């Protein structure tokens, strides 16, 4: 079974109004954590992980955040070196970092490639200046595709751009222009998410005060169809409801996660899944770092998954994949629900006869509802 390591870097230069990820600006952190030395804490957890997980060669590594590229390339390289030293990295390991376009330049991209990264995922979101303003992004239109091109020049094998669609005020033409910019950038992967208004974020407060309209579900559905049509026309195919790739460009780390394999999550708030158990680390970087410094596990809590939980998670993640999932992995009582979903045009009838649950194009627009129906 493949084994992946996720490394969470909980820092951002500024906070985007819609984001509720476990990330902190320098002001939010105050003096409680030093960004310059934080990679040492992550390395200490990797040593601890080796002692617990034992001998397991690592197939994929994914640095997420936050903005991992706020750390120096040398610091990220030291983290990677410790994974290599402790566990060993497969010869063809996929090693991804997320990056905000503002946090890299051509020189840094070369340095990231040199320390071992093979894949980079840039948060572009949109090429419209007004949409970027609503999202409170700090980069200018054009900088994301410029950095994607620079990543190719630096020798990255795989490059992803993240898009957000359905932002209030975004027009169809805004999205078409964003997709044109993505295609011009020559990337082999695109993630596109509809804007979610997360509770407790500045965006949610603006929507509640009526300063910004709430995103509209019908608009989001038609924008999803536009994304899919443009990307398919350009040689991409969907492999997960919100992810498209050119052949061979699929993110192996995320695919393994969606297929329910084992991974260790290093860093504050990171989740791990190993041998039927799941645990999650202390969320705040200072609390997390204190536990690691004591030589203790930084976990906040853990649970052994019941067979029912395993099944629920397999359905929630597996249904969203283009490859689908075996019918035998859904609850026996849901077989009738699957047949009804075929009747409604949301599941593929031929696939069901062949023993697989697979969304149709119409089903992709209603994937959450399909999951709910299959879980009863």
Q: Supply the DSSP symbol for 328.
A: G
Written as six digits, the tokens of 294 are 């004591």
Of residues 286, 283, 262, the one with CA closest to residue 272: 262
Give the interface segment with ligand SAM, choosing from 54-62, 64-72, 176-184, 336-344 (CB under 6 A).
64-72
- Choose which of 86, 98, 188, 262 interacts with ligand SAM (CB under 6 A): 98
Closest distance between ligand SF4 and the C-beta of residue 12, in Å? 3
Name which of 129 and 353 has its Cβ closer to ligand SF4.
129
Q: Which of 74, 66, 54, 52 is nearest to 15 (CA)?
A: 66
Give min distance, CB of 115 to ligand SAM, in A.
Answer: 18
**CB distance 370 to 341 below 8 Å:** yes
Residue 143 near ligand SF4 by CB under 6 A: no
Cβ proximity to ligand SF4: between 265 and 363 the closer is: 265
Q: Is 96 in the site for ligand SF4 (CB under 6 A)?
A: no
Task: Map residues 242-271 to x or -, x wherever contact with ligand SAM holds by CB under 6 A.
Answer: ------------------------------
- For ligand SAM, the closer of residues 216 and 308 by Cβ is 216
Give the DSSP H or E segment for 120. Answer: strand 119-125
15 binds, among ligand SAM, ligand SF4, none (CB under 5 to 8 A by kind): ligand SF4
Give phi and psi for 30, each to the nearest 5: 60, -140
Q: Is 363 in the site for ligand SF4 (CB under 6 A)?
A: no
> How much is the CA Rg of the chain, to the nearest whole Å?
21
Binder among 2, 4, 10, 66 for ligand SF4 (CB under 6 A): 66
Q: Is 37 exposed, middle or buried (0-12, 13-18, 19+ CB in 10 A)?
A: exposed
Neighbours of 253 (CB within 10 A): 24
Q: Which residues bind ligand SF4 (CB under 6 A)?
A: 12, 15-16, 19, 21, 23, 65-67, 100, 123
């Amino acid at each position: 079974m493949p084994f992946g390591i996720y490394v969470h870097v909980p820092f951002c230069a500024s906070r985007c109004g819609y984001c509720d990820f476990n990330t902190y600006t320098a002001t939010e952190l105050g003096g409680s954590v030093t960004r310059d030395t934080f990679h040492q804490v992550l390395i200490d957890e990797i040593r601890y992980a080796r002692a617990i997980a034992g001998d397991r060669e690592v197939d994929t590594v994914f640095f997420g955040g936050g903005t991992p590229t706020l750390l120096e390339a040398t610091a990220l390289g030291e983290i990677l070196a410790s994974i290599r030293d402790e566990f060993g990295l497969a010869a063809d390991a996929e090693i991804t970092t997320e990056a905000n376009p503002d946090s890299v330049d051509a020189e840094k991209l070369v340095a990231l490639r040199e320390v071992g990264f093979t894949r980079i995922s840039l948060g572009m979101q949109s090429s419209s200046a007004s949409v970027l303003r609503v999202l409170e992004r700090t980069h200018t239109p054009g900088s994301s595709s410029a950095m994607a091109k620079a990543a190719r020049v630096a020798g990255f094998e795989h490059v992803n751009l993240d898009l957000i669609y359905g932002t209030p005020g975004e027009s169809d033409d805004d999205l078409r222009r964003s997709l044109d910019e993505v295609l011009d950038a020559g990337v082999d992967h695109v993630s596109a998410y509809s804007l979610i208004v997360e509770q407790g974020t500045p965006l949610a407060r603006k929507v509640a005060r009526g300063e910004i309209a709430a995103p509209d579900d019908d608009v989001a559905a038609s924008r999803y169809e536009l994304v899919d049509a443009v990307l398919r026309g350009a040689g991409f195919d969907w492999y997960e409801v919100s992810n498209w790739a050119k052949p061979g460009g699929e993110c192996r780390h995320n695919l393994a996660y969606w297929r329910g394999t084992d991974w260790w999550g290093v860093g504050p708030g990171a989740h791990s899944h190993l041998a039927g158990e799941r645990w999650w680390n202390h969320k705040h970087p200072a609390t997390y770092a204190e536990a690691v410094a004591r030589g203790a596990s930084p976990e906040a809590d853990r649970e052994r998954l019941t067979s029912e939980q395993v099944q629920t998670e397999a359905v929630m993640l597996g249904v969203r994949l283009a490859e689908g999932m075996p019918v035998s992995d859904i609850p026996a009582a849901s077989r009738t629900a699957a047949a009804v979903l075929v009747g409604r045009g949301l599941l593929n009838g031929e696939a069901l006869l062949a023993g697989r649950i697979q969304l149709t194009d119409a089903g992709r627009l209603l994937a959450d509802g399909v999951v709910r129906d299959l879980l009863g």
